[in-house]
Amino acid sequence: MRIAVFTKNRSNPAYMAARLGADRAAALFGDEVVHYVPDRPDDPDQQIALIDQALATAPDAIVLSPVHASRVDPAILRIRAMGIPLFAFVNPVEAVPTVGYVGADDARLAADVARYLFGRMNGQGRVLIVGGHVESVTSMARVSAFERVARERPDIRVVGHCVGDYQRGVAREAVSRWLAEHCEAPDAFLVANDIMAVGVIEALQAAGLRALVVGVNAIPEAIAAIREGRMLATADFNAMQMAFTVTECAARHLRGETVPAHVELPVDLVDATNFQHWDRPYEARPVKTLSEILA
């Protein structure tokens, strides 16, 4: 079987891990994965063009992480019209029914990591929020949860927002500009993903400052920063496991098996007390099969 897998970009290591996860699952069945990735990160027009490119080859199934909540819908409707089984991960597809979806609760994981940060701040201090693409479903959910939890703490003050586009360099430059324009640095940073958090740490280092930084994804660079004391914590939004599971679902569906319509993965917080479990390359990180997840 041939499965077309669509990820959002090459700039976020989490999506490199997702492609690895899809390959690992397909290998269990002897299936072929063809990866489609926009050259411009998270670009809806490029993802539409890539979907049409894939449709011309008539894959047996499509696994899709849509780069936008609605702007890719015209191409998604063409998938439906061709009768190709569609599976989604990270973000759900709203335009048409999917055979299966695998993801995690962005709002809950962001709330958990925010509460952890505020606890380490003793419930008081100045916080800067760094979000991803302004139209990204994951970023909107995470930033909204950061703000909601901050409002629960009267002595936590959100002093501003930066947009890092889910990219290391963009986040680094945005935070560097913010720091240069404000006299008082934040005590902490709530960052919507880890690769931006690495950029935030670089901006702080360049300015000769230190602050508590938390992110999302548990990428190897973030785990190293936690080990070295440069980053406080991250939430393991496990894109490799998501892609593994959704690709396994696609392979099993193609073989006539019944697969769950919705799988929500739990999210673990990673800090200095437990980072050792994640302190390895993606290739060496374990994944669970669908039967193990559902057990």
Check residue 42 and give its pLDDT.
95
- What pLDDT does 251 receive? 98
Q: How far apart are CA 2 and CA 251, in angstroms?
A: 9
217 to each of 15, 148, 221, how far by Cα in Å? 10, 21, 10
From the list 216, 218, 198, the residue with the least C-alpha distance to 279 is 218
Are 269 and 232 a contacting pair, CB within 8 Å?
Answer: no
Separation CA 141–CA 163 (nearest Å): 14
The span from the first CA to the last CA of the chain, in angstroms, equals 27
**103 forms bridges with which residues in the sheet?**
264
Q: What is the pLDDT along the chain (295 residues), one digit of tens a residue?
A: 999 999 999 999 999 999 999 999 999 999 999 999 999 999 999 999 999 999 999 999 999 999 999 999 999 999 999 999 999 999 999 999 999 999 999 999 999 999 999 999 999 999 999 999 999 999 999 999 999 999 999 999 999 999 999 999 999 999 999 999 999 999 999 999 999 999 999 999 999 999 999 999 999 999 999 999 999 999 999 999 999 999 999 999 999 999 999 999 999 999 999 999 999 999 999 999 999 999 9
Question: For residues 255 and 231, is the Cβ–Cβ distance under 8 A?
Answer: no
The strand pairing partners of 34, in sequence order, are: 4
Sheet holding 32-36, edge to edge: 32-36, 2-6, 61-64, 86-89, 100-103, 262-264
Structure tokens at 45: 């027009």
Q: What are phi and psi of 240, to 5 degrees?
A: -65, -45
CA neighbor of 21 nearest in space, from 235, 290, 294: 290
Residue with tokens 């991250």: 234
Q: What is the pTM of this model?
A: 0.96
Q: What is the pLDDT of residue 103?
A: 98
**SS3 state of residue 166:** coil
Report how far residue 63's alpha carbon sits from residue 255's, in angstroms, rounded to the nearest whole number: 16
**What residues form DSSP beta bridges with 269?**
235
The confidence score (pLDDT) of residue 77 equals 98
Q: Where are the beta strands (DSSP E) in the chain?
A: 2-6, 32-36, 61-64, 86-89, 100-103, 125-131, 156-163, 188-191, 212-216, 233-235, 262-264, 269-270
Looking up tokens 């989490």 gives 14
